[in-house]
Amino acid sequence: MTVLDVVPDRDAKTLTLTAEYDAPVERVWQLWADPRLLERWWGPPTYPAKVSEHDLRPGGTVVYVMTGPEGDEAKGFWRVTAVDPPHSLAFDDLFGVPDAPAADLPVTRAVVTLTPTGSGTRMVMVSSFPTSEALDQLVEMGMLEGLRQAVGQIDALLTA
């Protein structure tokens, strides 16, 4: 398992995931940049994602649907705010679809940073929440374990 840590911080209103991979930064970046690769890990194993739109430019949108084992769907999208390939990506992460975001779920701001290590890449993803209660809400929905499981699938893709 490459996930080193998933740490919620109520005071800072953040959730920080740290992972390391035995692959160069450029290879790890491709897992974000290629929608077919993103589909293979964005979402826990029991809720695989299908990406229908993928524009990783500032102002671009990534739209996806995760489908559960009973056929239930969780729709989501990103509004891309900054990109510096292959080193960083920032986006607002929303539930719902671009024309109808879920009003009862918070918007999070995600910043992903890829940095080289002596033997590969360290990925840090910091999700910032509007309030500590919003962080609590998504943690209670299973975000920590879901994120750990989703990112935990990356190793297999890097060795394929």
List the structure tokens of 160.
């394929």
**Per-domain residue ranges for the chain?**
3-159
Decide: 128 and 8 in contact? Cβ < 8 Å. Answer: no
Taking only the tens place, the pLDDT of each residue in 30-43 is 999 999 999 999 99
Q: Which residues of the chain have pLDDT under 50?
A: 1
What are the CA-CA distances from residue 78 to residues 2, 111, 127 (Å)? 24, 12, 13
Q: How far apart are CA 49 and CA 68, in angstroms?
A: 9
Please tell me the distance from the alpha carbon of residue 150 to that of residue 41, in angstroms, as a whole number.
5
**Residue 117 token pair:** 């290590």
Tell if the pTM clears 0.85, that is, is over it: yes
Tens digit of each residue's pLDDT (9 = 90 or more) over 71-86: 999 999 999 999 999 9
Alpha-helical runs (H) found in 40-131: none
Q: Domain 3-159 adopts which CATH fold?
A: Alpha-D-Glucose-1,6-Bisphosphate; Chain A, domain 4 (3.30.530)
**How many other C-beta atoms are found inside a 10 Å radius of the C-beta of residue 78?**
23
